Chains A and B, each alone.
Chain A
């Protein structure tokens, strides 16, 4: 069994799933997310999805942050999965 790092968009997480923030694909969006505590290396967990499928709410650094899927899709998270 080896540990493999796979990258996923934050918007693709399932409820309850966690990942570690790896990088951002949108510079401007990243600035806003950084100041809200979404820094690379921080663990995030998808807490809930709004009834119409968008926006989503994530647990980060001890609080609930809601953001639109479009915004979440600019965040790459690494998933620790066992293959």
Chain B
């Protein structure tokens, strides 16, 4: 045996590191919330795109515990990204998050499968406490678990808790304060399967147990924590390549052996006294929720409700937020000394901040729903009934909610793809969600459609404007599906996609979990994506309010002799925008967009729309000196009357208007979405790819539409 510390004693330390580990649905997060309350934060595990939730709690007057909520996993095999994080934190003693104590949370109502992970962690020989969660559900179901005997058989301390009811939390804290032995004996003897290899590995690297060595043998290519110690790595590599190993066989032997021991222990510790009641409730509810008619009907109603809420209900707080920012801007313009700094503050920073904060109501509402759907166990059923349909397009049953939410706004929709566990399916969902027509496109659609079709034109029930609007939403959806299908073929999966997942029993949602989810998501958006959005907003402000040389002063000089009334001011604003860097950009891209039927004025609008699509309307208003952006009637008239200076024909023909409509349906003109995609994938590769493919798609589609209608 290595010189292992066989006891961990904390009497003289004031802070200990505690890791929470457990199966998905074991109630690990509920326990984390119960332990830490609001003293928690979300960060990153270094170098990977996995969120790290950590928090603190006082165990006694002198001892504080720092908790890390490790990603839920069924085993310690480092196959997926989440599993790799858990594996490395627990197996590598030099990892900065390596805990003093590991609490394994196990769902007592599903004990056998949960004990699998417990047994693996025991064999790592690190100090472990088994938190036997949902003990209340077990008792209600007429099952008795002999906790004392279980503790004896497993060789670790066991505390029965109910994280939802906050029962046993104090006992668990007390258990953490006691001296904690490392598990006494091996749960299974892995030497049975690879005896000499285990010894050889142990001779080159210091590990706590045979199983730790066995894990290195079996997962060598997946382990990166000794990459820096190239000498050790090479030695291990040499040992492994010198022997013929069937990794699959080793792993399957290990799994079978673990369950053999678990089954024996379970028989000794679990007594079924009467039939389980909770199950029949789940069974009855499933008969409706996964029914071939009612199942979809219920899902449709839920989708409709979510959609209505984030589309219409969120409007009120969004209006208040915008109103508040308008008030602050006006106040700042009047009170602060006029000049460049005030201008930057009002039109750059405040405008950017308003563009960030305005998303908060939608994000909060969508995540309230998603947290409830997850927490009750319904989300797994959505996957179950939608999987076959979505799979064909490389999507997942859980992609439905992001896609539908995308009709309101892609920002919260993309943030909600976290529930998709397969990397490839999640990336595809993120990539195609912005093709769904979001609410920011609506003002652009309305304005352009009104240029082509008069309001009152209708045949029978069908209002033509409404028909075109509906077609645009449909086109967006179809494009998303086709794009998903293409990505399915192009993208290489890092890991094999499985649909092997648990359908948890139904439970009532916990409001604490819901509110913590909302706070967490809003924070992540405000601080991570918000920075990027404000930065781009300042750049766009600079581009549209600055011009090279003395261009602005020349314009002002020319009008200085005239009395300044509102018409003159509008004309100055229009000329200034034309002279600005944004104007220069708009003119510079004119040759590129001319084949789509666009002139330089539309070019400027395309540039400024990058802040947000609806800015199109405001830019058009400024360019056509229409002034009041709220009055779309005047903008429409001005645009309709606009004549081409060379040909004398109207600029906004049917062909041009439809070309613009299609362009706005497909183009990626939303810095907030790109910022969120970056935040969710932790790489600029995906937002760049998304921007690229959507621009190409928009360009080609507009080109075709323009030339067909011309």
CB distance B255 to A31 under 8 Å?
yes
Q: Give chain A nearest CB distance to B533 CB in angstroms.
A: 39
CB distance B388 to A54 under 8 Å?
yes
A27–B388 CA distance with the chains assembled, in angstroms: 24
Categorize the interface residue count of chain A: 20 to 34
CB distance A30 to B112 under 8 Å?
no
Known A-B contacts A50-B387, A52-B389, A55-B388; A35 and B75 likewise in contact (beta carbons under 8 Å): yes
Q: Which of B471-521 contact A (CB under 8 A)?
A: 496, 498-505
Across the two chains, which residue of chain A brings its CB closest to B109? A62
A7 part of interface (Cβ distance < 8 Å): no
A66 contact set on B, CB distance < 8 A:
380, 383-384, 499-503
B503 contact set on A, CB distance < 8 A:
57, 63-66
Of B289-297, B321-329, B422-430, B692-700, the one contacting chain A is B289-297
Q: Give chain A nearest CB distance to B68 CB in angstroms.
A: 23
CB distance B498 to A31 under 8 Å?
no
A40–B260 CA distance with the chains assembled, in angstroms: 10
CB distance A63 to B252 under 8 Å?
no
A69–B439 CA distance with the chains assembled, in angstroms: 39
A65 contact set on B, CB distance < 8 A:
500-503
B291 contact set on A, CB distance < 8 A:
51
B259 part of interface (Cβ distance < 8 Å): yes
Of B112, B252, B387, which one neighbours A55 at CB under 8 angstroms?
Answer: B387
CB distance A28 to B113 under 8 Å?
no
A32–B80 CA distance with the chains assembled, in angstroms: 12
Across the two chains, which residue of chain A brings its CB closest to B389? A52
Q: Which of A28-81 contact B (CB under 8 A)?
A: 28-37, 39-40, 42, 48, 50-55, 57, 61-68, 71
Known A-B contacts A31-B77, A51-B295, A53-B388; A36 and B500 likewise in contact (beta carbons under 8 Å): yes
Most buried by A among B252, B387, B496, B500: B500
B255 contact set on A, CB distance < 8 A:
31, 34-35, 39
CB distance B290 to A32 under 8 Å?
no
A40 contact set on B, CB distance < 8 A:
256
A35 contact set on B, CB distance < 8 A:
74-75, 77, 116, 255
B248 contact set on A, CB distance < 8 A:
27-28, 30-31
B589 part of interface (Cβ distance < 8 Å): no
Q: Give chain B nearest CB distance to A70 CB in angstroms.
A: 9
Most buried by B among A27, A34, A64: A64
A2–B380 CA distance with the chains assembled, in angstroms: 42
A48 contact set on B, CB distance < 8 A:
286, 290
Q: Give chain A nearest CB distance to B380 CB in angstroms.
A: 7
Number of interface residues of B (CB under 8 A): 40
- Taken residue by residue from 269 to 303, chain B's Cβ proximity to chain A (1 for < 8 Å, 0 otherwise) reads as 00000000000001000100011100110000000
CB distance A63 to B498 under 8 Å?
no
B681 part of interface (Cβ distance < 8 Å): no
A67 contact set on B, CB distance < 8 A:
498-501
Most buried by A among B291, B384, B391: B384
Most buried by A among B74, B112, B380: B112
CB distance B286 to A54 under 8 Å?
no
Of A32, A37, A61, which one neighbours B498 at CB under 8 angstroms?
Answer: A32
A55 contact set on B, CB distance < 8 A:
384, 387-388, 499
Q: Give chain A nearest CB distance to B501 CB in angstroms.
A: 6
Q: Give chain B nearest CB distance to A65 CB in angstroms.
A: 6
CB distance B252 to A54 under 8 Å?
no
Q: Give chain B nearest CB distance to A14 CB in angstroms.
A: 17
Q: Give chain B nearest CB distance to A43 CB in angstroms.
A: 12
Q: Give chain B nearest CB distance to A28 CB in angstroms.
A: 7
Across the two chains, which residue of chain A brings its CB closest to B73? A35
CB distance B388 to A57 under 8 Å?
no
A31 contact set on B, CB distance < 8 A:
77, 248, 251-252, 255
A68 contact set on B, CB distance < 8 A:
387, 391, 499
Q: Which of B573-600 contact A (CB under 8 A)?
A: none
Across the two chains, which residue of chain B brings its CB closest to A34? B255
B44 part of interface (Cβ distance < 8 Å): no
CB distance B77 to A37 under 8 Å?
no
CB distance A51 to B385 under 8 Å?
yes
A51 contact set on B, CB distance < 8 A:
290-292, 295-296, 385
CB distance B75 to A50 under 8 Å?
no
Across the two chains, which residue of chain A brings its CB closest to B111? A62
Most buried by A among B259, B380, B387, B496: B259
Q: Give chain A nearest CB distance to B391 CB in angstroms.
A: 8
B95 part of interface (Cβ distance < 8 Å): no
- Taken residue by residue from 552 to 579, chain B's Cβ proximity to chain A (1 for < 8 Å, 0 otherwise) reads as 0000000000000000000000000000
A71 contact set on B, CB distance < 8 A:
498-500
B290 contact set on A, CB distance < 8 A:
48, 50-51
A29–B252 CA distance with the chains assembled, in angstroms: 11
Most buried by A among B111, B252, B385: B252
Q: Give chain A nearest CB distance to B703 CB in angstroms.
A: 38
CB distance A50 to B385 under 8 Å?
yes
A42–B75 CA distance with the chains assembled, in angstroms: 19
Q: Give chain A nearest CB distance to B419 CB in angstroms.
A: 15
B60 part of interface (Cβ distance < 8 Å): no
Q: Which of B372-407 contact A (CB under 8 A)?
A: 380, 383-385, 387-389, 391
Across the two chains, which residue of chain A brings its CB closest to B246? A27
A34–B251 CA distance with the chains assembled, in angstroms: 9
Most buried by B among A30, A52, A57, A62: A62
B174 part of interface (Cβ distance < 8 Å): no
B110 part of interface (Cβ distance < 8 Å): yes
A64–B256 CA distance with the chains assembled, in angstroms: 20
A64–B387 CA distance with the chains assembled, in angstroms: 17
CB distance B380 to A61 under 8 Å?
no
A40–B110 CA distance with the chains assembled, in angstroms: 19
Of B256, B389, B502, which one neighbours A63 at CB under 8 angstroms?
Answer: B502
CB distance B500 to A34 under 8 Å?
no
B387 contact set on A, CB distance < 8 A:
50, 54-55, 68
A27 contact set on B, CB distance < 8 A:
248, 252
Q: Give chain A nearest CB distance to B113 CB in angstroms.
A: 4
CB distance B252 to A36 under 8 Å?
no
Q: Give chain A nearest CB distance to B109 CB in angstroms.
A: 8
Where the two chains meet, the residues of A that have a C-beta atom closer than 8 Å to any C-beta of B are: 27-37, 39-40, 42, 48, 50-55, 57, 61-68, 71
Q: List 22 A-B contacts (CB under 8 A).
A: A30-B252, A31-B248, A33-B500, A34-B255, A35-B116, A37-B112, A37-B113, A37-B116, A39-B259, A39-B260, A40-B256, A50-B290, A55-B388, A57-B503, A61-B110, A62-B110, A63-B110, A65-B501, A65-B502, A66-B500, A66-B503, A68-B499
Where the two chains meet, the residues of B that have a C-beta atom closer than 8 Å to any C-beta of A are: 74-75, 77, 109-113, 116, 248, 251-252, 255-256, 259-260, 282, 286, 290-292, 295-296, 380, 383-385, 387-389, 391, 496, 498-505
With A28-B248, A64-B504 given, can you name 11 additional A-B contacts, CB distance below 8 Å?
A27-B252, A28-B496, A34-B251, A50-B290, A51-B292, A52-B385, A61-B113, A64-B502, A65-B502, A65-B503, A68-B391
Closest 10 CB pairs of A and B: A51-B292, A34-B255, A64-B503, A52-B388, A35-B75, A37-B113, A39-B259, A27-B248, A68-B499, A63-B110
